[in-house]
Amino acid sequence: MKFLSARRRNPIVAVILLIAALGAVGITFSAVSNIQPAQAALGTQTQVEEGKKLYLEGCSSCHGLDAQGSMNGPTLIGVGAAAVHFQVATGRMPLAAPGAQAVAKDPIYNEEQVAAMSAYIAALAPGPAIPTAEDLDYSGADVAEGGVLFRINCAQCHQAAGQGGALTAGKYAPNLMESTPQEIYEAMVSGPQSMPVFANETLPIAEKQAITSYIMALQEAPNPGGLSLGRLGPVTEGLFMWVVVFAAFIAAAVWIGIKAR
């Protein structure tokens, strides 16, 4: 008994027992924690497989069977889930007909199908992910800062009031007055059509949120003067005055002259 007590009091034995206990806890934790990831991976794999089926049916004729592109469409390797969600959820893809630019229309896929296709393309190669609710939260953003950032980075194409504008070769920057925060964010990180990519390294998430807050403020801004006329400023308002108002005055003068006879 004294021999056993001496062994228990030996510091080396205590260290060995401690290491053995820590090892047992680690093995147990690893075994338990691997159960949920395995189940999550199964769900993700199912979604990817469903997305692949949808892709082969609706997209492969232009983008190729392996999404590596063809003469009719660019490669999708590395575009990320955000690009797929933006293009498909807004109805721009699949393309209705060849043209200078994909036009937004009612989507033909529901949200679950769009998510599955996004997951499939994201599984092929890393790329911008679909933004989270935290990414899209612009409630604390500075609208004034967003206006400055918008005028620096976006107004050249979308016009200072977000009404859109013409580009070259039949292309155009779309009107942003009906764009959602998710569409705005995904467009910035994926660069659809002629739009450049604003990665988080170039334009941090906080600045993206500020730009979103500015666009949302434009959408909600009232028009106390009546018609907005695209909010293009005095040139448009002056042209409207000459064409519409003065034309009405001239017509009234001619009518009065005819009646006077």
Average pLDDT of span 205-226:
91
Q: What percent of the chain has pLDDT over 70?
A: 79
| Three-state secondary-structure class, residue 172 | strand
* Residues 78-93: tens digit of each pLDDT: 999 999 999 999 999 9
Residue 158 amino acid letter? H
Token duo for residue 96: 């209705």
Q: Stretch 49-77: mean pLDDT, rounded? A: 95
pLDDT band at 37 (very low <50, low <70, confident <90, very high): very low
Does residue 27 have a pLDDT over 70? no
User: pLDDT tens digit string along 111-124?
Assistant: 999 999 999 999 99
Q: Does 128 or 225 have the greater pLDDT score?
A: 128
pTM (2 decimals)? 0.73
Peptide bond into 126 cis (omega under 30): no
In a 13 Å sphere around the CA of 15, the CA atoms on its Cβ side amount to 3
Is the pLDDT higher at 232 or at 110?
A: 110
When the pLDDT of each residue in the chain is averaged and rounded to a whole number, the result is 85
Task: Give CA torsion, residues 149, 232, 224, 248, to 10 deg.
Answer: 180
Q: Quick one: pLDDT at residue 41?
A: 35
- pLDDT of 57 higher than 60: yes
Question: Would you state the structure tokens that stand for residue 81, as one six-digit string?
Answer: 């889930």
* pLDDT at site 24: 61
Query: For residue 65, what pLDDT band results from cuts at 50, 70 and 90?
Result: very high
Residue 33 has pLDDT above 60, yes or no: no
- The Cα-based distances of 222 to 74, 146, 162, 228, 241 in angstroms read 41, 19, 15, 9, 21
